[in-house]
Structure formats: structure tokens, C-alpha cells
Amino acid sequence: MERQLFEAEHQEYRESVRRFVAKHVVPHRERWERQGAVDRDLFLAAGELGLLGVAAPEEYGGGGIEDFRYNAILAEELAAADVLTAGLGLSLQADIALPYLLHNCTPEQAKRWLPGVVTGETILALAMTEPGAGSDVAGIATTAIRTGDEYVITGSKTFITNGLNADLVVVAVKTDPAAGRRGISLLVVEADRPGFSRGAKLVKVGQHAADTAELFFDGVRVPAGNLLGAENRGFYVMMSHLVQERLAVTVQAAAQARRAYELTLAYATERRAFGQPVGSFQHNRFVLAEMKTETEIAQAYVDRMILAFVAGELTATEAAQGKWWTTELCQRIVDRGVQLHGGYGYMAEYPIARAWIDSRIQTIYAGTTEVMKDIIGRSLGL
Ligand SMILES: Cc1cc2nc3c(=O)[nH]c(=O)nc-3n(C[C@H](O)[C@H](O)[C@H](O)COP(=O)(O)OP(=O)(O)OC[C@H]3O[C@@H](n4cnc5c(N)ncnc54)[C@H](O)[C@@H]3O)c2cc1C
């Protein structure tokens, strides 16, 4: 079915994104995977083309257009080039962390931080998760105690995307440790502050280009002017931004699932066994029929989600529905794709094998499938 959500200006943008991916991403992916991080130049190139700050106001160098369809196009084009789930950190910057700044900065903070984020000179990270608290964000133990005009931060974070490259980290802290979720605030920490350090890059099973790392805060002093939003309202700010984060992962999962189907169809059409294409055995034809059907039906919901979000109407429950459904679907589709590739599906040089490893995390980060179902279940009054 023809998709209804894109206009002429989106198609133009898609063409330029496609060229960007071919030039600035695809040729470097393997090297980035070997070095365990992307080059900072990736962010500069993305910034130069305007990919990082579409939603940022023009006065800070952005495009001034809050339209998630542009974000979706970047994800879709990365998927089409088999680099979406490699762990580039662009989505974390543009889809996930930037909105925290856009919607919560004072004019003074916006002036300080946004221009660098938009050009890609400043790389962002968002640090909520701790060794002892992931799904249970309210259980974080990192504290920020106010002393005069400063906060003193003590604690650690783990699994932080862009952790090694980041220049600015939005950190969830307890400013009132006795008040549970009502005592959480967000502080922006510049990476050159004394007492801030990073652990070694975490060794993951996939997404090897992502510099996922631990971050340590040993009495890090930041001015009170680095508080993002109101003190002790950080939990609610995070919850409101999780809608966009989950939409971003939903869009990625749908795009990756579709790509896996396309790769598998192409392979199963070409590869022959017992004198015929492997896809033409009835069982495999049925598998491919299911893959096509499921990816297209998922896309219809995802496209509705995007339009609802653009209209300011996407609810937390709807975002949770899309997130768990599409990421679980992506697992199934990619796994069936590996199976239909036979032994080649297990070879790292094949995009389907890379997708299998790299996309596995999708049902876990940005809120696990179980947490998504919990959100949906509670909305039923249960
Ligand atoms: C590659 C990668 C990148 C990441 N990037 C970032 C980042 O940039 N910033 C950041 O802050 N975090 C990041 N994370 C962390 C990620 O968001 C967490 O791993 C995730 O939220 C799950 O938390 P956890 O690992 O502590 O698991 P836990 O919360 O310990 O969960 C363990 C299991 O228990 C289940 N569970 C937990 N609570 C419930 C419940 N109420 N009901 C039913 N089941 C439940 C979970 O679903 C899961 O299956 C990243 C993680 C990875 C692996």
C-alpha cells in the first residue's frame, strides 16, 4: 500500500539523506566497528547537511521544523543501506537527546548549547541508567546536592550511548534523595568538568560502532545554571520525552524489519536448492508472505503514530504499543531472514546476520517489552 505521510519536501530531504549515507556512513562502517566508535566527523557531516537540528530553532542554526517525518526518513535511509542498527549515535543525538534541550532549556542555555549540537561539534548523551536501576528509573542513586550556586554530583551511569564521544551529558540525578521520583532532576554536565570520567567502552554482542560506556561522577561541580527544567521535576520530563524516544525506536524497528524482508526475498529468489529458488518451496513462500504482510501492516500503524506525534496527539500508551510490537516483530522477521539465508545468514559479511545481532537490543532499550506491556496494562485500569 502506498504510504500517505510524506510530502514533496520530504522526498527531497530523503534524496539528500541517501547521498549522505552513501558517502559518510557506508564506507566507514567496518572501520568504526573495529575502532568501537564512530568518528566525530560523522556528526560534523550530519550537522553540515542539517540532519541533526531539523527541529531546532533557526536562530540557533536549526531548520525550525518540528516534524518527526524528517527523523523517520533518516532512520529509513540508514536501514535501506544496512547501517541503521550499527550504533551510529545519530538517533540518540537528533531524536532522543536534542528534544530534552529544545523543550527545557532557558533562552540562555539554548544559546550556550544548541548551536554546537546542531552543527555536530557538540555530541550529546543521555544518562539515566545506572548499574542498579534501569527500568526502575526512580530507583537511581546518583545524587546532586546543592551547595550555594552549584550542584555536586556523585554516582555512576552505565550503558550510555555516545558515552565516550559525548561533550554534553544530560544526567538524571536525585536532588532530593528522600523524595523518590519527586526528587529527580536533570543536570547538563560538560565532559571537561573535574571529577567526570568515563569507563572503558563496554564490550557488547552487537552495535560495535556504538561507544556505549559507563560514566562516573566523583564530586562533579556544575553551576545551578545547568539545571534543565525545574528542580525535582526531572522524572516527569523524562516520562514526557520517552514518547518520542519510543517512537524513534519503533520507526527504526519497522524500517529494519522491512529491510530484512527485502534482503531475504532477494536472497531466496536467487539462491537455488534441489533445482529451484529456495524461496519457491511452499513453506518458504509462506514465510516470505508472512514477512511481507507483517511488515506492511506494522508500517501502517507506525505511519499513523508518526502523524499523531506530529499533531501532538501520540499518547504514552500508543507509543508503548508501537514500541513493543514492532521491536518484537523485527526480532521475528530478522530471525526468519537468517534461517532463509541458510549458513550464509550466519556469516558476518551478510547484512541479515549483522541485523540479527545489532537489532536484538531493540526490545530492551528505550523501555523493555515487559515495561511497555505494563504501561499498556495499567492504562486499562488494571
Ligand atoms: C546498547 C545499549 C544502549 C543503551 N543506551 C542507553 C542510554 O543512552 N542512556 C541510558 O540511560 N540507558 C541506556 N541503555 C540502558 C537501557 O535503557 C536499559 O538497559 C533498559 O532500560 C533495561 O534496564 P536494565 O538493563 O537495568 O534491566 P532491568 O530493569 O534490570 O530488567 C531486567 C528484566 O526485568 C524485566 N522487568 C523490569 N521491570 C519489570 C516490570 N515492572 N515488570 C515486568 N518485567 C520487568 C525487564 O523487562 C527485563 O527483562 C542502553 C542499553 C544498551 C544495552
Instruction: Specify if 1 maps to a domain.
Output: no
Number of domains in the chain: 3
> Residue 272's CB: how many other CB atoms inside 10 A?
12
Residue 318 and residue 369 share a domain: yes
- What is the structure's pLDDT at 278? 98
Q: Is 281 in the pocket of ligand 1 (CB under 6 A)?
A: no
CA pair distance 290, 226, nearest whole angstrom: 50
Are 154 and 218 in contact by the 8 Å Cβ rule? The answer is yes
- Give dist(CA 221, CA 210) in Å, integer: 28
* Active-site pick, 245, 270, 290, 296: 245
Per-residue confidence (pLDDT) for residue 382, from 0 to 100:
87
Cβ atoms of 280 and 300 within 8 Å: the answer is no
Identity of residue 285: R
Confidence at residue 1, expressed as pLDDT on a 0 to 100 scale: 86
Q: Whose CA is nearest to atom 16 of ligand 1?
A: 365
Mutate to test the pocket of ligand 1, among 184, 201, 249, 365 (most ligand atoms within 8 A of CB): 365
**Do strands 227-228 and 184-190 pair parallel, antiparallel, or not at all (unpaired)?**
antiparallel
Same domain, 217 and 267: no
Nearest by Cα to 114 from 10, 196, 228: 228
DSSP 3-state of 45: helix
Query: How far are the Cα atoms of 61, 104, 183, 192 from residue 223, in angstroms, in the given order?
Result: 26, 17, 18, 14
* Same-domain pairing of 183 and 203: yes
Q: Rounded to an integer, what distance in angstroms lies between the CA atom of residue 100 and that of residue 25?
A: 26
Continuous segment of H or E residues that includes residue 211: none
Domain end point (choices 183, 209, 232): 232
pLDDT computed for residue 68 by the predictor: 98
Count Cα neighbours of 299 within 13 Å in the Cβ-side half-sphere.
19
Residue 2 lies in a domain: no
Q: Any idea what DSSP says for residue 202?
A: P
Q: CA-CA distance, 285 to 88, in Å (whole number)?
A: 34
Domain-terminating residue out of 182, 214, 232: 232
How many whole angstroms separate alpha carbon 230 and alpha carbon 332?
42
Which CATH number belongs to the domain containing residue 353 in this structure?
1.20.140.10
Q: Looking at the domain assignment, is residue 3 inside a domain?
A: no
Does residue 245 carry a catalytic annotation?
yes
Residue 161 and residue 245 in one domain: no
Identify the domain containing residue 188 by its residue range. Answer: 125-232
Longest dimension (CA), the chain: 79
Residues 240 and 363 in one domain: yes
Q: How far apart are CA 188 and CA 102, in angstroms?
A: 13
Cell numbers representing residue 305 in the block = 503514530
- Domain termination residue (choose one: 92, 122, 152): 122
Based on the domain organization, do 105 and 179 belong to the same domain?
Answer: no
Q: Where are the beta strands (DSSP E) in 202-277?
A: 213-223, 227-228, 272-273, 276-277
Residue 248 Cα, ligand 1 centroid: separation in angstroms?
17
CATH number at residue 154: 2.40.110.10
Give the pLDDT means over successive 10-residue stretches in the chain (382 positions): 94 97 98 96 97 96 97 98 96 96 98 98 98 97 97 98 98 97 98 97 96 98 98 97 97 98 98 98 98 98 98 98 98 98 98 98 98 97 90
In this structure, what CATH number is given to the domain that contains residue 93?
A: 1.10.540.10
**19 found inside a domain:** yes
Could you tell me if 63 and 142 lie in one domain? Answer: no
Tell whether 240 and 360 lie within a shared domain.
yes
Our measurement of the distance from residue 247's CA atom to the centroid of its chain's CA atoms, rounded to an integer in Å, reads: 9
One domain for residues 96 and 183: no
Q: Which of 92, 159, 205, 327 has the most ligand 1 atoms within 8 A of CB, as the residue to mutate?
A: 159
**Do both 150 and 61 map to the same domain?**
no
Partners of 160 in beta bridges = 213
The confidence score (pLDDT) of residue 147 equals: 96
- The reply to whether ligand 1 has any atom less than 6 angstroms from the CB of 71 is no
